[in-house]
Amino acid sequence: MKTRITELLGIRHPIIQGGMHFVGYAELAAAVSNAGGLGIITGLTQKTPDKLAAEIERCKGLTDKPFGVNLTFLPMMDAPDYPGLVQAVIEGGVKIVETAGNNPAEYLPALKDAGIKVIHKCTAVRHALKAQKIGCDAASVDGFECGGHPGEDDIPNMILLPRAADELEIPFVASGGMADGRSLVAALALGADGMNMGTRFLATREAPVHDNVKQAIVAASERDTRLIMKPIRNTERVLRNPSVDRVLDIERDRGSDLHFDDIASEVVGVYPRVMLEGQADSGPWSCGMVAGLINDIPTCQELIDRIMTEADGIIRERLANAL
């Protein structure tokens, strides 16, 4: 399949694996890239430039296909060494970066001078337009359905994607609710140039997380996610568990007096326990509503092949026959 995003990134299929904390390691990124998509290493999971450089080299040993690095710019008191992480990406020869969080303008000149294509994750059309204006090469447009941080506008992809198509000149991919060939064809029909999947790639054989996490996704329905931290405008969509219920109880009890410190004990430092140790109920962790469409744990090759076969069939048969 040929779209603006496959041409821009030099990949076979218009499918991107989004950056995920304690998930986007070299083995998953390489598996996605080897299957014809674009795999992504999560930069902040590596914590230091030296560790990120080593993970990039490890990925290069597992694939000769394009892969990218996610750099999420967050407002922190003790911020990561962002200049060092950017330099590790450049020196590692990575040619694609997925940025997220705060405006990446400060780091764009160095990335662009190195010939790196930048895809910025956006939860609103106005953010995507800003990304386009500052020189990003593409956008990942995240609808309200997505796992993780869907922004504060609560706009689902059936509205958000056509709006983005109306306004943007740069290519963009759909993120949130993407799981199969139907998702890909729908994203293309709504104006996107491909799709970004997070939760679906979390439930694959190569995802380097505990099987308890994968089984929790398979067991979940589309009704089993919750939104936490909305009162402090840091909304996160997570899979419901006892810890999530406690957070929601605290939010209800505190009302407009809620502060992050009130829920910090439930949300800080969760990901190693969940993803690596398999304590899936020990805290909130990002998961999209798309869990309702996930019923198995295939390899990345099996998943992408299945998506592309299904998409091809829908386009050539069902849609063509409707004309």
Q: What is the mean pLDDT of residues 113-131?
A: 98
What is the C-alpha separation between 18 and 2, in angstroms, rounded? 20
The SS3 assignment for 161 reads helix
Q: List the Cα angle 4/6/139 in 5-degree steps.
A: 60
Q: What pLDDT sits at residue 97? A: 98
* 135 DSSP 8-state letter: T
**Which domains can be identified in the chain, with CATH numbers?**
4-208 (3.20.20.70)
Both tokens assigned to 235: 């909304």
The candidate with the shortest Cα–Cα distance to 285, out of 205, 217, 196, is 217
Both tokens assigned to 123: 């939860």
242-275: per-residue pLDDT in tens? 999 999 999 999 999 999 999 999 999 999 999 9
In DSSP terms, which residues pair with 227 in a beta bridge?
237
Sign for the pseudo-dihedral over CA of 16, 197, 312, 308? positive
Residue 78 has pLDDT above 90, yes or no: no
Which segments within 49-205 are labelled E, that is strand?
A: 67-73, 96-101, 117-122, 138-142, 172-175, 195-197
Q: Return phi, psi of residue 77, to 5°.
A: -65, -45
Both tokens assigned to 180: 């199969």
% of residues, the chain, pLDDT over 70: 100
In DSSP terms, which residues pair with 73 in a beta bridge?
101
- State how beta strands 225-228 and 236-239 pair: antiparallel
In DSSP terms, which residues pair with 173 in a beta bridge?
140
Count of residues for the chain? 323
- Distant-in-sequence contacts of 127-135, Cβ < 8 A, 24+ apart: 127/151, 128/164, 128/167, 128/168, 128/172, 129/167, 129/168, 130/103, 131/170, 132/168, 132/169, 132/170, 134/103, 134/104, 134/105, 134/108, 135/108
Q: What is the mean pLDDT of residues 148-171?
A: 97
Q: Do 245 and 162 meet the contact criterion of CB atoms below 8 Å apart? A: no
Both tokens assigned to 85: 């992480």
Q: What pLDDT sits at residue 201? A: 98
Residue 77 has pLDDT above 80, yes or no: no
Strand order in the sheet with 172-175: 15-17, 195-197, 172-175, 138-142, 117-122, 96-101, 67-73, 39-42
Q: Do 247 and 266 meet the contact criterion of CB atoms below 8 Å apart? A: yes
What is the C-alpha separation between 180 and 163, in angstroms, rounded? 23
Q: What pLDDT sits at residue 231? A: 96
Residue 3 Cα to chain centre, angstroms: 20
Q: What pLDDT sits at residue 136? A: 98
